[in-house]
Chains A and B, each alone.
Chain A
Amino acid sequence: MGVSKGDEMLINEIKAGNKMAFEALVLKYTPKLMSVLTGYTKSKDHAEELCQTTFFKVWQKINTFKGESSLFTWIYRIGINLAKNDFASRFSKNSMITERLDQDRHDFPEYRSPETELIAAESESKIMQFIQSLDEDTKIAFTLREIEGRAYDEIAKILNCPIGTVRSRIFRARQLILEFMNQENIFNG
């Protein structure tokens, strides 16, 4: 699977120097990357550090991204390679990687790093239950997007409705989930 149309536009903006587009990319992919890195390192603090370094590398190397894989696959590879190198360096007492990165940080945009708070397992379960309770039309559109990764036009064909309806149903699902998270005081960072 190659890069999606939306990510391609985001990448083009970043390549053109749009720092807010880079921040959007960071916001979009931090949760997934943190999940992977936390699983790998078993440490939230360590994962956060690696996450920031990964996005620094992404900023540095964005011009080399050819779109042969999805954007997240590319980011994931960078993150995992950094984690592996970091793991190895802890044993060889070699801190060269971190030092070398720090020297190049002068052109790195000062993006506002999100609060990488982790959701407690109990709250995860509540959110998943809430998603199950969404009305059928909303839940189906949202699931087709989030789980199956379908584009809006594909979902519109499957559900036999206009693309605008798909867009508003998916938004509605997200809006309701956000409201639920606020009500339940889940992740208000």
Chain B
Amino acid sequence: MDKNLEKMSALYDGELSQNEMQEIITEMDSDRSLRNAFYKFGVISELMQRHSDQQNSKISYLQNYYRKFNPLITNLATAAATVLLTLIVLHQFDDDRFTVNKETSFQLSSAISSDQAKVQLLNADQNIMDHMIQIMQSNQSNKSQQLSKNWIPVGFSVSPNNPNQYSNGKNNLFFHLENKQLGIKNVKYFKANNNWIYLIPLKDGRLLTAYGDIPPSIADQMIQSIYQRN
């Protein structure tokens, strides 16, 4: 049964061979539960896409709003802002492992529901947004920063192509160091698909940003280590 359901799932995605498709369609003809499941795959898909569309409309609203208040930003910055807004709106803050400040997330939710709150959000988070955009652009840069070796997770080594990029052969991590903390008091992190961005305020008043496909399970140790040695 599960094998047939798995084939139905692949059929739904159009990922079966011609022969497999013919076989499973024949099975469907005589098995009502398979037909029901196939229909429900469509229901789930429609639901996910509709919710995604709703989120995207929020993103484009915020993006337009952001552009209106920043008419001089470049296309690249606009693209980065879109990515950032997507990160924030589609993927809420994770708060199960760190002492995450939920304020930004709350403000975003509020921003979507009232004009006054929209202004508050964009004023409050303007610095963070600008910072994130700058980081996304600076990841393309090879300019070396003064990163402490203590910050680098065990098993990661510097990339020969970019002094700010570290890899353990499987995961990649970029670092960006800022001399101001943008009002961030606790570690914050965002995620999008398989990438995470960690904003880590250091005790000396600087802000370390780590960006890459490093899940919280690895980042947790890294952040603990940074705080112990910083």
Contacts and interface: CB of A to CB of B under 8 A. Distances in A.
Most chain B beta-carbon contacts within 10 A, residue among A128, A147, A181: A147
23 contacts: A4-B14, A5-B14, A6-B11, A6-B13, A18-B25, A20-B26, A20-B28, A21-B25, A27-B35, A30-B42, A31-B39, A31-B45, A32-B45, A35-B50, A119-B43, A127-B44, A128-B51, A151-B15, A152-B15, A167-B6, A174-B9, A175-B9, A181-B40
Contacts of B11: 6, 24
B79 interface: no
A178 interface: yes
Nearest to A28: B42
Contacts of B26: 20
Contact of B14 (A6, A128, A147, A174): A6
Nearest to B16: A6
Interface residues of B, number: 40
Interface of B: 2, 5-6, 9-16, 18, 21-22, 25-26, 28-29, 35-52, 170, 193-194, 215
B15 A158 contact: no
Q: Give the secondary structure class of A's interface.
A: helix
A33 to B, nearest CB: 9
Interface size class of A (residues with CB under 8 A): 35 or more
A108 to B, nearest CB: 17
Interface of A: 4-7, 9-10, 13, 18, 20-21, 23-24, 27-32, 35, 112, 114, 119, 124, 127-128, 131, 136, 140, 143-147, 151-152, 158-160, 167-168, 170-171, 174-175, 177-178, 181, 187, 189
